[in-house]
Structure 1
Amino acid sequence: MSEICPRKVRGALVAGYQFCITIGLMLASCVVYATQDRKDTGAYRIPIAIQFIWALILAGGLMCLPDSPRYFVKKGNLAAATSSLSRLRGQDPNSEYIQVELAEIVANEEYERQLIPSTTWFGSWANCFKGSLWKANSNLRKTILGTSLQMMQQWTGVNFIFYYSTPFLKSTGAISNTFLISMVFTIINVFSTPISFWTVERFGRRTILFWGALGMLICQFLVAIIGVTVGFNKTHLDANGESIANNVSAVNAQIAFIAIFIFFFASTWGPGAWILIGEIFPLPIRSRGVGLSTASNWLWNTIIAVITPYMVGEKRGNLKSSVFFVWGGLCTCAFVYTYFLVPETKGLSLEQVDKMMEETTPRTSAKWKPSTTFAHAAEDGMLNVPAEKQV
């Protein structure tokens, strides 16, 4: 998606990917809510069966998906690259607009090939880890940035809420219909995500991640503090021997701050991490870099899904609301991480992002402006790479 979108709306369109994920979560929650009272196998068969419908829609959509012009340039097929770019931009193949953008892509590809020569299948993966850890524009630094971005996204604890909010809220005894509350959380997730379509292009990627992390850590700590003082953690047994919260109003306040947390996540880190990983990698390693970053997302997703029951289970850690101190601490890590390590890529072409990361630091990246294009630099003979810089 990053490779085919115009740079002025690239962030908003890539954020649409996360928006579709949130719609899926909401629909799944609605289906589960509708089948919660079934006593037969339909309680789990129906939610699973409905997923086949969306798989068929996806398969049909893939048939219409255009190939990336950057992919064709990488393969040396300039005619196909021109045709693809013309189709994507709605311009004549011979127009100046198409030719200028194509020249920039070609010049950047030639420059990157000097830095990262073609190699074997194994070598192409190894290229993701080449370069110095202390060099901002090295492949290794970019790979660490991409994988750690997705790790931080999972560290926010958002999937603890989406995966375990139903049994967690039920354990308080203060919520009559926990499935309904969980569904409301997913609805908030859906309607908060489109806000990023505007903010990511208006304020930038780095900015929304920074303030989003701040908002999330405040909400997480508030949920934890309320919980251990007057909320989830303070319960008594009712006449039926069931555990029930002493202060229902405090529990409602916790639920409200969880909802606000979801708003901050959905409008910032939810789409923001996906946008950045599609922009920071150079063309020769982009597909593998994005693949490694996505693998990091699902690795930490799985780890958190596995360890959470041990953290909050009554016969395990039984942390109750104290688990939000953990998520709050991790959101604080994301806040500090964003300030020191996340660059600003707003308004730059994918080729310019690479140059920006070479010439500036994350904290000053928002002020960087391109002084020339790769195409002009190539014409002036400025893109010859010294042998010592090649990998």
Structure 2
Amino acid sequence: MGRNEEAYTALDRLRNPKPQSELNKQRVGMELSEIYFSHETGLGPERVSFRELVKEWFCARVKGIARTPHRRIHPLSFSVFLHTMYQCTGINFIMLSLPSLAESDEALSDPLVIALVFSFVRLCATPMYMLIFRKLGQRRTLFFGGLVVSSCHFLTAIVGMAVGLTHEEFVVNRVQLVFMALLLFLVASSWAPAVWIITGEIPCTATRSRDIGISAGVHWLWAVFASVYTPYLIEIEWVRRSAIFLLFAFLSLGSCLFAYYFVPETSRLFLEYIEVIIQESDPRVTREWKPSDTFGWRRDPRTEVKHCRVPRVRKRWTSLRE
């Protein structure tokens, strides 16, 4: 900003190539004001230090974030917790424990065969996310995806308990491998792509790169932690067969609750409106949210625009109300 007169002249020449009425000139000023306020909203709050971030996790006041009746969370904290909930689905443990489980099956004892089979499963699952996202949106995709993943973990644990009740260990291994492949398919078609998309949309423009970098670092930190504890867990038969899947079943239910209470519906929204919806709306009702006005709904001293109301934007953001 700063060169407001030149910006107004350029926008007026673009919108009105011929002399127009005063009303059209006022609309140009309103549009310039809208551009300024959307840019200002996109910048978002000031940078949040790690010390302030820890304070926020303990419900303390964070600089630049006002306290409101609704329980809200800073975008950086939200991104970190979302990646943590993604790891609670048990995806890393499944990927690391597959070779040891498949060793008892001669047909899948080759690590290359295992890698090819389950890579093909993930490859086929990822395009399914685009279809699910169009029907359900981000929020419902995470919620229902977590429910189905939790159910699949429970079934895998039940099958693992059958090892001590039957001598058909070969059959049990095959059934568990099928359920684990189904788990990979479910996570790859719901949580895996949605988490990275949402964490890229939630942060404000001024801090997006830093927030995404920190949340991605937390993601890989959990992956390293999983690679450390997995070799010890798979050495214990009852843990490898059933106990760990029961644990991840309950953790997946926790991921569902996190998606229900904290994840807003960001599909079909501009990035500026995502910043507004985090500050103003309860995530549980964001699917029905639509703005009552635009960013230019006030006087802008930089562009000398009068206090005036601009048309509301429809829910699907495709056109303006006349």
TM-score by length of 2: 0.72
Whether the 8 Å contact between 1:356 and 1:365 is mirrored in structure 2 is yes
Q: 1:104 to 1:313 in 2, by over 3 A?
A: farther
Q: 1:143 to 1:137 in 2, by over 3 A?
A: farther
What is the correspondence of 1:185-200 to structure 2 with a 5 Å cutoff?
Answer: 185-200=118-133
Instruction: Choose which of 92, 95, 107 in structure 1 pairs with 2:37.
Output: 107
What is the correspondence of 1:127-206 to structure 2 with a 5 Å cutoff?
Answer: 130-131=62-63, 135=68, 141-170=74-103, 173-178=104-109, 179=111, 180-206=113-139
Are residue 256 (structure 1) and residue 178 (structure 2) matched?
yes
Deviation at 1:359, TM superposition (A): 2.2
Large movers: runs of 4+ above 3 Å: 93-96, 99-106, 123-129, 131-140, 375-382
Are residue 353 (structure 1) and residue 274 (structure 2) matched?
yes
Deviation at 1:304, TM superposition (A): 1.2
How many residue pairs end up in the alignment? Answer: 272
Partner in structure 1 of residue 235 of structure 2: 313
Whether the 8 Å contact between 2:145 and 2:190 is mirrored in structure 1 is yes
Match of 1:373, SS? coil
Deviation at 1:278, TM superposition (A): 1.1
Q: 1:353 to 1:181 in 2, by over 3 A?
A: same
**Whole-angstrom CA distance in 2 between matches of 1:95 and 1:266:** 46
Q: Which runs of 5+ in 2 are unaligned?
A: 5-12, 17-28, 57-61, 309-322
**Whole-angstrom CA distance in 1 between matches of 2:271 and 2:31:** 11
Whether the 8 Å contact between 2:102 and 2:108 is mirrored in structure 1 is no
Match of 1:278, SS? helix
Match of 1:263, SS? helix
Which digits, 9 at most, give the CA deviation of each residue in 1:323-366, with x for residues without a partner?
21122121111111111111111111010011112221111111
Q: 1:110 to 1:126 in 2, by over 3 A?
A: farther
**Whole-angstrom CA distance in 1 between matches of 2:32 and 2:238:** 58
Match of 1:204, SS? helix
Larger radius of gyration: 2
**Whole-angstrom CA distance in 2 between matches of 1:100 and 1:162:** 54
**Whole-angstrom CA distance in 2 between matches of 1:366 and 1:380:** 32
Match of 1:156, SS? coil
**Whole-angstrom CA distance in 2 between matches of 1:296 and 1:77:** 41
Are residue 344 (structure 1) and residue 265 (structure 2) matched?
yes
Are residue 295 (structure 1) and residue 220 (structure 2) matched?
no
Deviation at 1:312, TM superposition (A): 1.6
**Whole-angstrom CA distance in 2 between matches of 1:292 and 1:107:** 28
Match of 1:143, SS? helix
Deviation at 1:190, TM superposition (A): 0.9
What is the correspondence of 1:192-231 to structure 2 with a 5 Å cutoff?
Answer: 192-230=125-163
Q: 1:375 to 1:190 in 2, by over 3 A?
A: farther
What is the correspondence of 1:35-46 to structure 2 with a 5 Å cutoff?
Answer: none
Q: Which runs of 5+ in 1 are unaligned?
A: 1-72, 79-92, 236-244, 383-391
**Whole-angstrom CA distance in 1 between matches of 2:129 and 2:183:** 15
**Whole-angstrom CA distance in 1 between matches of 2:32 and 2:106:** 58
Partner in structure 2 of residue 327 of structure 1: 248
Partner in structure 2 of residue 272 of structure 1: 194
Q: 1:255 to 1:366 in 2, by over 3 A?
A: same
Whether the 8 Å contact between 2:202 and 2:274 is mirrored in structure 1 is yes
TM-score by length of 1: 0.61
